Structure 1
Amino acid sequence: MQIDRNSLCSTSLLVLALAVPSVAKAQEVGDNGRIVVTGTREQVLTSEGPTGSRLDMSILETPATVHVVTGEDIRQRGDLAIVDAVSRAPGVTNAGDPGNAGLTFSVRGFNGQGSVLQLYDGVRLFPNNGSISFPSDPWNVERVEVLSGPASVLFGQGALGGVVNVIPRGPNFDALEVDAELGYGSQDTWHAAVGVGGPLGEMFAFRADVSYRASDGFVDRGESENLAISGALEFAPSETFSLTLRNDFGNNEPTRYFGTPLVDGELDTSIRRENYNVGDSTMRFRDNRTALTMDWQLGENVSVANTAYYLTSNRKWRNLETYCWIAADGNCPNGIGFGTPGNIYRADNFGIIHDVDQYGSQGHVAFSSTLGGGASNQLLVGYDVNYFTLNYSHQFASDYQEDEVAITGFDPGLFLDTVGLIPRYHTDTRTWAIYAEDRLEITDQFSLVGGIRHEENRVGRWNWVYDAAGTTIIGDSPALNGGADAYKDLSSTTWRVGAVYQPADDLSLYVQYSTAVDPLGTLTTFSGSASQFQLTYADGYQYEAGVKGLFLDGNGSFTLAAYRLVKNNLFTQTAPGGAIDQVGQRSSQGIEASIDLQLPAGFGLSANGTLLDANFDDFAGFEGNTPPGVPESSANLELRWAGMDRFSARANLRYVGRRFTDNANTFRVPAFTVVDLGASYNVTQNLTLSVTVQNLFDEDYAYTTYGNEQWILGRPRSVDVALRASF
């Protein structure tokens, strides 16, 4: 991708130059001309949480665990990617790697895009082949909401572990707002971004954001760049009706780095800058999403909402992906290769293209009514229809590439592809669902909340058929149900019920029981080998109880939840060499907690953490083991201080417990702790200079893995400087 960097820099500097001596939000000028910070942090518990319910309830009133990461905090911390921002929420850790496009999470002992559903502005994103690549940049994020635990009732299959909802910044009718940022840091990392929004007359408002990032990376040949462009236009002819047209584009070319192989089972820090991929490797994700949203208040007690959308994704990989260190006996410790002791064995030349179209519509009608005895009721009835198509290309039939290189000072070589990236199969997935939610407020203190959803999925898959030369497509053939039929029909019904007791306006105690379904693999690329099986249904369930509230006159908030989450009907092989059956069970039980405090003298504290016990309860002889990629403990801590007129600072700590990479728990990834520091100085009322030190103690750690002994390392100690303008 060719980007005119000078133009982007000029645009950002122009916005900075336009900063006028007006008073920034959350600040005022005192009698002596000094800037006095008067703003307070948003109290998210009292705000509406659309990810937890569509009934316009606050998070405090919702019988579930919903956490919010604000866009302002994301930008002040200097988080470079969506996955970095989301993993600040309690119990959420990164499970992404280059093969799944990096947007994958672990929540409550369950991981992957088949168990942790992702939404953009409340609409679900369908993964294919375990990949989601949108959105690509956190600049335009208003907030991220994380619903922990089953959410199939609200959003459909694939939400057993939880839901991550990225909500972008939208138009506003209040006043013109302009934000800009220009930053530079370690590894020749730089960022330029501009955002502007406000009214266009009495009936129109808009929002537009552009962000560009580039870096040389911390490994050899580790260059990356990312462009994100968003725009939204809202038409509101009255206070009761609005239409919002939105488009989001992302072109992401991430670092073509698939990890560092362990040496004799340990991380050798002397090779942490080595990149064992081929020299002409490729990784690119391009997404574009258009949506039209309507909100209409038909009367005092009836409202209608609907969102129609269209998303295209084109992803390309062309890499040599698997590496291992060759031991003294000439073999790799994990048994995947062999060669000269001390060298690095390389294999798996994967060239893949995903060409995806996804479109659909979701909407609902909401009713509210007053009942006798002071009770009231809110009822919502909705629908959800989607259509997803995929054309999948690869070069797996070409010559298999394997070689070995010296551990350092090697020629990376070139990608071996003798046939090209040829279309192999295509799929279409059609889903429709009807759902209902209801909240019965029996008294001011006690309410019951329930929901039910029925969903039908029809999955079709065809393999392309080529001529004798293998170069020209002459047709296609069914690839499901033994080849006799191209389609597989899957259906599910899920439900949930909860109760909330509020002994005071700022305190809630709740319990909830919910069910969920997950696909076996990825619904949109359902394989022929899995066509005989059903969705995991009914036995996917969770019990949860919790308490959340405010204290210190609203300057403090806390949440505490305990749960048990069970998933049945896993794939397993009950006898070595025997048939694969849909049996087995895995579960997790744990505690999540969070606290946020605004203290005197400008101090503040936010902390969250989780402890869980995740197990295979019945799974092919691995009973009692921890499922791969699941840390059983994690925590985040932030300390803030804004006690001076122009200066503020913060320190962040992120802890992730040990994980395993295999079912047998043979390969262990140690826990890690990373500390970041940040400081900001208000040069003027509108201009702020910030410095961020990431990974202060230069921790060598695996933030994720690719294979059993191939660690994808986190960014080493880095210093980033940014100039931000806001008016």
Structure 2
Amino acid sequence: MKQSLWHRAYGISVLALAAVLSTPAIAQQNTEADDSILVTAQRQQVLATETPTGSRLGLSLLETPATVNVVTGDDLRARGDLAIVDAVSRAAGVTNDGNPGNAGLSFSMRGFNGQGSVMQLYDGVRLFPNNGSISFPSDPWNVERIEVLSGPASVLYGQGALGGVVNVIPRSPNTERFELDAEAGFGSQDSWRLAGGIGGPISRSLAFRADASYRQSDGFVDRGENDNLALSGALRFAPTDNFSLTLRNDFGNANPMQYFGTPLIDGELDSSIRRENYNVADATMRFRDNRLSMTVAWEVSDAVSIANTTYWLASNRKWRNLETYCYIGASGDCANGIGSGTPGRIYRADNFGIIHNVDQYGNQGHVALDHRLGGMANTFLVGLDVSRVTLNYSHQFASVYQEDEVPLTGFDPGLFLDTVGLLPRYHTRTTTWAIYAEDRLAISDQFSLVGGIRHEENKTGRWNWVYTNGVITGDAPALNGGTEAFKKLDSTTWRVGAVYQPSENLSIYAQYATGVDPLGTLTTFATSAAQFQLTYANGYQYEAGVKGLFMDGRGSFTLAAYRLVKENLFTQTVVGGAIDQVGQRSAQGIEATVDLDLGAGFGLTANGTVLDANFDEFAGFEDNTPPGVPEQAANVELRWADGGRFSTRANLRHVGRRFTDNANAFRVPAYTVVDLGATYALTPNVALDVRLYNLFDTDYAFSTYANEQWILGRPRSFDVAVRASF
């Protein structure tokens, strides 16, 4: 049954590719192409535009009492961002927390990190992490924009959004004119990619959009081959101006580098082993996802509107790797205590073979009402969110633990030790329902109040498969020592904020918001959780800020200060590892952004954050910085265009130092990476891009997998691409 569903899903997605291959005939019909889009198009200041991530009330960023940053699809493609994580971490206060164990899609925001604290959405619908892993979406080609809401968002999206929310919004059908986009590129590490997209009206009431992209690379470590295929298609039916129905399907098949990091040598990064891959030769890592959704938007009248999304997401993930490495010092032991052996060699261990088969389906909808309340304009919204997630989890059940030691270089990587194969271990079912409401009361043209409340209930069931003579004969409850199958969790969260606009282009705001995090991963509620009375981490945040437009709309800025606290929370240093209870953890800081059109073709975009993150109450670790949390981060982009065919840009990314353990004994130094790019318009619609990544060839830890195992960033690399847009 599963296989047939995958074949069916893949077949739906291939329609997108077929549409792209038919573009020449359709492209000839486009008579309204924007001749300046590739090089000299004027940037749009997004503060005055509506964004659905910060509120469902149709508010602009200036009207929203929260920090919402937007990364546009045009910008990320112009920069050459090749992964979702690259694009998202351009936003203020967002840094990478991804590694192979969480499928590389995890972020740190406002002093909190991980998929249980920074929620991920696709087109406004949350993605549930399973065993700490989200693998969708896999490619930024079809992204319209990425919106990042900083701070607690549980009121809007439920548990798991204390640190913030990342919402990836895909391209949608253009109902007014045909569009054609394409890109072909080649670069260092024998990397190449092809991408194309087309969309436009089919008739007065029907429009479509289809995108396809494929990229492949040899990688920057030995045996680092990787590839990614992404297909998407959308069909929009709008028989009237106030009603639309959109059906879309997105498919991704990613085979990332089977690289779990480079071990430190005596606590330092040794550049001589930078290209070494200590995984086994037959390592496997694959993420396959397919999402089908139907969205209805109906403006019943000037006062009433309805929106609803029904969706299904199927994910298949497979790992088969030897994951842990460390350098054996002169004492014969690893510095982090995980192994021992011959001094001067690399100890390898942890043969993990895992398969996830996940289905997530549900419905999210709301009704909004615009009316007068005591003579004041008021918008009220009430909604319902229901979902079910099922997971079948398989493990290799190896009776022999794989460990060995190899020299630093010139070694035989060996093969994965698997004595019995990947066998089903347990299955879970998580059912969620929530009712939520939002309201905005415009007390005057300058002052408004915005509030919201959400009540959510989750029921999680977990069962272990029972084997008799190697054959599954049933299942058994797996919670509370095997006496229970279900755990019920419920929460009520709320927020209230005020916005004062002394002028049309300036807002001053303040907000108080609450939120909750689940214990570990909700959909894989751990048996070990039974020892704890509390099941949710409660949090709250105070935030105040100012944002505005200036220079006749050619400049914008935001500035926010906050304090975010989590109480009675739980932490796992390693996904699936021991759970520790923490009394309180907090972060306070400042975030700022600025975007300027400086004139004479110059432009500047910059953002940064400075924060102080601490364990406030955690026996033995008080005042320490939580693992994986940088306390400084910044992004700067300087661009120039000659007003005709030529444009350039330079991007700088800085990430402050981090720690990998609660005791702060293992420190990861700060890094700064500079990228350069130039674009030359061969015609008004075809451009040549030249990009140089990591200009100074900096060796840095993009992420970590263990205390002394760094996942390195891409070395200095060159890329050439041809882009077209009609």
Distance change in 2, residues 1:163/1:128 (3 Å) = same
- The offset of 1:533, in angstroms, is 3.8
Which portions of structure 1, spanning 4 or more consecutive aligned residues, are displaced by more than 2 angstroms?
A: 8-28, 35-39, 370-373, 531-539, 570-573, 579-583
Q: C-alpha distance in 2, partners of 1:304/1:203?
A: 19
- The offset of 1:151, in angstroms, is 0.1
- Which residue pairs with 1:465 in the alignment? 466
- The offset of 1:398, in angstroms, is 2.7
**Tell me, what secondary structure is at the counterpart of 1:516?**
strand
**Tell me, what secondary structure is at the counterpart of 1:570?**
strand
**Tell me, what secondary structure is at the counterpart of 1:306?**
strand
- Which residue pairs with 2:575 in the alignment? none
- The offset of 1:39, in angstroms, is 3.1
Amino acid at match of 1:429: T
- Residue 587 of structure 2 is aligned to residue 607 of structure 1: no
Q: Is the 8 A contact 1:114 1:522 kept in 2?
A: yes
Question: Deviations for 1:624-672, whole angstroms, at most 9, x for unmatched residues?
Answer: 0000000000000000101242000000000000000000000000000
- The offset of 1:426, in angstroms, is 0.3
Distance change in 2, residues 1:22/1:240 (3 Å) = closer
- Which residue pairs with 1:555 in the alignment? 554
- The offset of 1:330, in angstroms, is 1.1
**What does residue range 356-375 of structure 1 map to in structure 2 within 5 Å?**
356-373=358-375, 375=376
Q: C-alpha distance in 2, partners of 1:259/1:349?
A: 15
**Tell me, what secondary structure is at the counterpart of 1:706?**
strand
Question: Deviations for 1:158-202, whole angstroms, at most 9, x for unmatched residues?
Answer: 000000000000101111100000000000000100100000100
- Given the alignment, which residue of 174, 177, 181 partners 2:179? 177
Q: Is the 8 A contact 1:19 1:687 kept in 2?
A: no
- Which residue pairs with 2:723 in the alignment? 724
- Which residue pairs with 1:315 in the alignment? 317
- The offset of 1:280, in angstroms, is 0.3
Q: C-alpha distance in 1, partners of 2:88/2:660?
A: 22
**Tell me, what secondary structure is at the counterpart of 2:516?**
coil
Amino acid at match of 2:396: Q
Question: Deviations for 1:53-103, whole angstroms, at most 9, x for unmatched residues?
Answer: 000000110000000000000100000100000000000000000011000
Amino acid at match of 2:722: L
Q: C-alpha distance in 1, partners of 2:583/2:38?
A: 60
After TM superposition, the structure 1 stretch with the greater mean CA deviation from structure 2, 562-571 or 429-438, is 562-571
Q: Is the 8 A contact 1:350 1:396 kept in 2?
A: no
- The offset of 1:11, in angstroms, is 11
Amino acid at match of 1:521: G
Q: C-alpha distance in 1, partners of 2:39/2:338?
A: 59
- Residue 687 of structure 2 is aligned to residue 688 of structure 1: yes
**What does residue range 371-382 of structure 1 map to in structure 2 within 5 Å?**
371-373=373-375, 375-382=376-383
Q: Is the 8 A contact 1:12 1:181 kept in 2?
A: no
- The offset of 1:396, in angstroms, is 3.6
Distance change in 2, residues 1:44/1:572 (3 Å) = closer
- Which residue pairs with 1:165 in the alignment? 167
Amino acid at match of 2:682: V
- Residue 326 of structure 2 is aligned to residue 327 of structure 1: no
Distance change in 2, residues 1:36/1:572 (3 Å) = closer
**Tell me, what secondary structure is at the counterpart of 1:531?**
helix
After TM superposition, the structure 1 stretch with the greater mean CA deviation from structure 2, 164-173 or 528-537, is 528-537
Amino acid at match of 1:64: A
Distance change in 2, residues 1:182/1:690 (3 Å) = same
Distance change in 2, residues 1:140/1:9 (3 Å) = closer
**What does residue range 14-29 of structure 1 map to in structure 2 within 5 Å?**
26-27=34-35
**Tell me, what secondary structure is at the counterpart of 1:138?**
coil
Question: Deviations for 1:322-380, whole angstroms, at most 9, x for unmatched residues?
Answer: 0001111111111111111111100000000000000000000000012444x200000
Q: C-alpha distance in 2, partners of 1:21/1:608?
A: 41
**Tell me, what secondary structure is at the counterpart of 1:455?**
strand
Q: C-alpha distance in 2, partners of 1:21/1:297?
A: 32
TM-score (norm 2): 0.95
**Tell me, what secondary structure is at the counterpart of 2:481?**
helix
Question: Deviations for 1:456-490, whole angstroms, at most 9, x for unmatched residues?
Answer: 000000001101x3x21011110113322200000
Amino acid at match of 2:592: A
- Which residue pairs with 2:438 in the alignment? 437
Q: C-alpha distance in 2, partners of 1:222/1:670?
A: 25
Amino acid at match of 1:496: R
Sequence identity percentage: 74
- Which residue pairs with 2:216 in the alignment? 214
Q: C-alpha distance in 1, partners of 2:31/2:647?
A: 17
Distance change in 2, residues 1:233/1:580 (3 Å) = closer
Q: Is the 8 A contact 1:12 1:182 kept in 2?
A: no
Q: Is the 8 A contact 2:537 2:569 kept in 1?
A: no
TM-score (norm 1): 0.94
Q: C-alpha distance in 1, partners of 2:309/2:697?
A: 45
Distance change in 2, residues 1:685/1:16 (3 Å) = farther
- Residue 300 of structure 2 is aligned to residue 301 of structure 1: no
- Which residue pairs with 1:260 in the alignment? 262
Q: C-alpha distance in 2, partners of 1:392/1:10?
A: 34
Q: C-alpha distance in 2, partners of 1:259/1:272?
A: 10
- Which residue pairs with 2:149 in the alignment? 147
Q: Is the 8 A contact 2:219 2:225 kept in 1?
A: yes
Q: Is the 8 A contact 1:261 1:709 kept in 2?
A: yes
Amino acid at match of 2:633: S
Q: Is the 8 A contact 2:210 2:233 kept in 1?
A: yes
**What does residue range 282-681 of structure 1 map to in structure 2 within 5 Å?**
282-373=284-375, 375-467=376-468, 469=469, 471-533=470-532, 539-571=538-570, 582-681=581-680
Q: C-alpha distance in 2, partners of 1:11/1:433?
A: 38
Q: C-alpha distance in 2, partners of 1:23/1:175?
A: 8
- Residue 236 of structure 2 is aligned to residue 234 of structure 1: yes
Q: C-alpha distance in 2, partners of 1:674/1:107?
A: 20
Q: Is the 8 A contact 2:39 2:680 kept in 1?
A: no
Gaps of 5+ in 1: 29-34, 574-578
Q: C-alpha distance in 1, partners of 2:606/2:479?
A: 48
Q: C-alpha distance in 2, partners of 1:371/1:9?
A: 51
- The offset of 1:50, in angstroms, is 0.6
Distance change in 2, residues 1:361/1:532 (3 Å) = farther
- The offset of 1:38, in angstroms, is 6.1
Q: C-alpha distance in 2, partners of 1:159/1:597?
A: 31
Q: Is the 8 A contact 1:594 1:609 kept in 2?
A: yes
**Tell me, what secondary structure is at the counterpart of 1:88?**
coil
Q: Is the 8 A contact 1:26 1:38 kept in 2?
A: no
- Which residue pairs with 1:576 in the alignment? none
Amino acid at match of 1:414: L
- The offset of 1:19, in angstroms, is 7.6
After TM superposition, the structure 1 stretch with the greater mean CA deviation from structure 2, 80-89 or 563-572, is 563-572
Q: C-alpha distance in 1, partners of 2:174/2:667?
A: 49
Distance change in 2, residues 1:36/1:186 (3 Å) = closer
**What does residue range 48-87 of structure 1 map to in structure 2 within 5 Å?**
48-87=50-89
Distance change in 2, residues 1:10/1:166 (3 Å) = closer
- The offset of 1:571, in angstroms, is 3.6
Q: Is the 8 A contact 1:22 1:686 kept in 2?
A: no
Distance change in 2, residues 1:13/1:295 (3 Å) = closer
Q: C-alpha distance in 1, partners of 2:440/2:29?
A: 49
After TM superposition, the structure 1 stretch with the greater mean CA deviation from structure 2, 475-484 or 140-149, is 475-484
Amino acid at match of 2:481: G
- The offset of 1:686, in angstroms, is 1.4
Amino acid at match of 1:387: R
Amino acid at match of 1:97: N
Q: Is the 8 A contact 1:324 1:344 kept in 2?
A: yes
Q: C-alpha distance in 1, partners of 2:448/2:202?
A: 42
- The offset of 1:528, in angstroms, is 1.4
Amino acid at match of 1:621: G
Q: C-alpha distance in 2, partners of 1:226/1:364?
A: 35
Distance change in 2, residues 1:45/1:115 (3 Å) = same
Q: C-alpha distance in 2, partners of 1:447/1:228?
A: 43
Q: Is the 8 A contact 1:26 1:40 kept in 2?
A: no
Amino acid at match of 1:550: L
Distance change in 2, residues 1:185/1:580 (3 Å) = closer
Q: Is the 8 A contact 1:424 1:463 kept in 2?
A: yes
Q: Is the 8 A contact 2:19 2:210 kept in 1?
A: no
